Amino acid sequence: MTENRVSAGVGSDVRALVAAALLTYSCGVLLLVGYLLLTVFGAILAAVGAVFGVIWWRKVHDDQFFPAGLSTKSVVTLVVVGGVLTLLAALLAA
């Protein structure tokens, strides 16, 4: 059996998986919020904002999207951002 040199352990792999899912979800909800606010123009602005957000995320984590030692703080931040965007989208849709 070969050793996995990429993984830092099961906990790190789970955090990377959750971060990838939440980053994707948050970008999608940001597009929805932009569309609900300003229709197509808002969705375009939100797409630009999502791209810059992903670039910022990578710069914060030393030019890696999901580093081996991804902190729990980063994952919790994504949970909070996703929750706030979801709540905002729900309020705008109502």
- Amino acid 75 reads V
CA separation for the pair 67, 69 (Å, rounded): 5
pTM: predicted TM-score of the whole model, two decimal places: 0.86
- Amino acid 94 reads A
Q: What three-state secondary structure class fits 61?
A: coil
Structure-token match 């970008």, residue found: 27
Please list the pLDDT of the chain residue by residue as tens digits (94 residues): 667 666 677 888 899 999 999 999 999 999 999 999 999 999 999 999 999 999 999 999 989 888 888 899 999 999 999 999 999 999 999 8
